[in-house]
Amino acid sequence: MAKIVKSVNNDSIDVSNVGVFYNKENQKAAYISKSIETLLNDNDIQCSILTTEEYSQKYTLAIVLGGDGTILRTARYYARYNTPILGINLGRLGFLSQAKSSQINEAIGCILNGSFKIEDRLMLSAMEEKLNALNDIVIKGDGFSRTSRLYVHINDNIVCDYLADGIIISTPTGSTAYTLSAGGPILAPTLDAIVVVPICPHTMNARPIVIPSNEVIKVTSSQNKPLLKISADGQETFAIGINEAIEIKKCSYSARLVLLNLEKNSFYSVLKEKLHWGLSWKG
């Protein structure tokens, strides 16, 4: 039987079957997962501790222990089942997480007390949704240290002709990741938009472009180049033949991230704290 917790803004989480996921190579994560299990069991909530190799659609809430990579992997799997994700940071940056390992009690308390909201995050898809991404889809040439001529079409209109190391197609969530490193803009995560960013373009007039999320992007390459590689969130990679057009568009489903009402948890606070955004240098 479903056990529903509602927040003040009427978001709800079914906590009747919680899955706590961790990377099996992280011993700290295995230890902390036991603490979460104890907290949930003390509140009569069923909980299973699993590795990130044991995903199952039966869980109604996924609590993820690890860095952004672990959270991305989990979010991609559970987005199709509309299952909310709560990230606990055990990594270096933890931009997608909502609490540190030292805040486990507070984090679980926020869930049980309804001090949370659920934010739907835009995802991208390619290859007829065989490849899905919460952060970004990256297209590069197959050869080492080789540039590629890539043509970007938006709604069947040729927009850009890039001679570059590759192209990043990013969501607002991914705008603080690889896209930012490549010179792209930061977008608030709830914006309904997509960013196209060339990687090391061989011209000064090749700049990032932000487009509405309902636009369809198609990337093609010149005929005399080798295979292209396409990857999702830097974790899943496929080879594409030179005669194939790569179509990228908004995914039919969204990732559902649980955001906790904790101090300094707003997007702009996280931006300042974790990326030191806008802080002046003090000599």
226-273 tens-digit pLDDT: 678 999 999 999 888 767 889 999 999 999 999 999 877 778 877 777
- The answer to whether the 4-122+254-275 and 124-250 domains have the same CATH topology is no
Nearest Cα residue to 36 out of 27, 48, 24? 48
- pLDDT confidence of residue 182: 94
Q: What is the pLDDT of residue 281?
A: 62
What local confidence, expressed as pLDDT, does residue 224 receive? 61
Quote the pLDDT of residue 109: 95
Report helix, strand or coil for 75: helix
Task: Collect the ranges in the chain with pLDDT lower than 70.
Answer: 93, 143-146, 223-226, 242, 278-283
Does CATH place domain 4-122+254-275 in 3.40.50.10330? yes
The answer to whether 193 touches 187, Cβ cutoff 8 Å, is yes
Helix, strand, coil tally for the chain in percent (to 5): 20, 35, 45
Q: What is the dihedral of CA 68, 267, 84, 191, to 10 degrees?
A: -110
Rounded distance between C-alpha atoms, residue 53 and residue 223, angstroms = 39
Report d(CA 94, CA 48) in Å as an integer: 23
Sign of the C-alpha dihedral computed for residues 218, 220, 133 and 197 taken in this order: negative
Answer yes or no: CATH 1.10.287.70 is held by domain 124-250: no
From the number of C-beta atoms within 10 Å of its C-beta (0-12, 13-18, 19+), residue 242 rates as: middle
What residues are annotated to the active site?
A: 68
Which segments within 156-235 are labelled E, that is strand?
157-164, 166-170, 193-199, 209-212, 217-221, 228-232
* pLDDT score, position 169: 98
pLDDT at 131: 95
Question: Where do the domains of the chain lie?
Answer: 4-122+254-275, 124-250
Dist CA 24 CA 7 (whole Å):
32
Look at the block and give the residue holding tokens 């902390």: 32
Please calculate the CA angle 251-256-261 and round it to the nearest 5 degrees: 150
Q: Which two tokens stand for residue 244?
A: 């194939």
Name the residue with tokens 């472009």. Answer: 209
Sign of the Cα pseudo-torsion (118, 81, 193, 142, in order): positive
